[in-house]
Structure 1
Amino acid sequence: MLMSLALGLLLGALSALVMFPAAEHLRSLQDGERAQATLHTSGACMSGQCEVTFKAGGQTVVADLPVGSGGGRQSVGAPMTVRYQADDPQVVAREEDVGGGGAALLAWMSGGTAALFLVLSGAAAIYLARQRRTSLR
């Protein structure tokens, strides 16, 4: 019961504190400047461990893709289109991600799973309380 409660709270925190804000951040770049980029460092893009290289204002920029990004299965050097903030080109996202889809989907999935675990731990607590009451009689 305690493990279920802890898991539910952890998944709820992941959803509320990480994935929903990540989806909103990705959506905020929908009207950003468009640029052709190259994947500079590949890795777990969903957790924010990928970098892209692109030109912005005549400068070459190497920027981290934010949490919730896709494209982790692409190899280094893969071309992609990115959107970035005109006043801060370090704030960038893949054009395919600016709808917030992957991060929003993961947020809803982890939130739903958190709710399931919380309901299960609540049901277990009620069951144990009833068992104690009947054993005391």
Structure 2
Amino acid sequence: MAALALLAVTYAVFLPAAWLRTELRGAEPTAATFHGGACLLGGCTVTYPLAGEQVTAGLPVGTRAGDHAEGDTVYVRSAPGEPERAVLAADTGRLTVAALLAVPVGATLLALLAAAVHVLRDRRPEGPHRPPDLGDFMS
């Protein structure tokens, strides 16, 4: 049961992150200031100007920001009308989306394999069990 809950959480985290990158693929890139954190876990942010105001947006789970340090200028794509929904412009490629989708697919395959091993291990042999013939041991 815990495996199913973990699998559900994996889908709930990675599918929206992949969808956001796909959704924002066509948005216009904007220069932003990078603020560090645990980017792979969705803990880093960017600040960028929009309509004369500074907007701070959290970057989604799976953001690849290993080359960026606090204060670096990066390019982001944001959702029209929802400036707090932003992704790094470099993270909107097909390979990034495929990698994000591979995580829940891989977790599903592992869960199915574990279930198959569990079922096969607990399977009892078919047919009645015949005790050994004592005559075979006496000769």
TM-score under structure 1 normalisation? 0.76
Paired position in structure 2 for 1:105: 99
**Equivalent residue, structure 2, for 1:21:** 16
The CA deviation at 1:27 is 1.1
Structure with greater helix share of residues: 1
Structure 2 counterpart of 1:127, which letter? R
Select between 47-56 and 95-104 the one with higher mean Cα deviation. Answer: 95-104
Q: Given that residues 11 and 104 in structure 2 are in contact (C-alpha distance below 8 angstroms), is that contact kept between their aligned partners in structure 1?
A: no
- Matched residue, 1:123: 117
Q: Aligned partners of 1:10, 1:123: CA distance in 2, in Å?
A: 19
| 1:52-85 deviations in Å (ceiling 9; x for gaps) | 0111122111111122322155220111111112
The whole-number CA distance in structure 1 between the counterparts of 2:44 and 2:94 is 17
2:65 equivalent in structure 1: 71
Structure 2 gaps, min length 5: 130-139
**Partners of 1:43 and 1:21 in 2: CA distance:** 20
**Structure label with greater radius of gyration:** 2
Q: Which residue of 2 aligns with 1:51?
A: 45
Per the TM alignment, residue 112 of structure 1 is displaced from its structure 2 partner at its CA by 1.8
CA offset digits 1:97-127 (Å, max 9, x no partner): 1236435314313422431332233223222
Structure 1 SS opposite 2:124: helix
- SS of match in other structure, 2:21: helix
Q: CA deviation at 1:10?
A: 4.7
Distance, in Å, in 2 between the alignment partners of 1:71 and 1:64 is 13
**Aligned length, in residue pairs:** 129
Which residue of 1 is the match for residue 29 of structure 2? 34
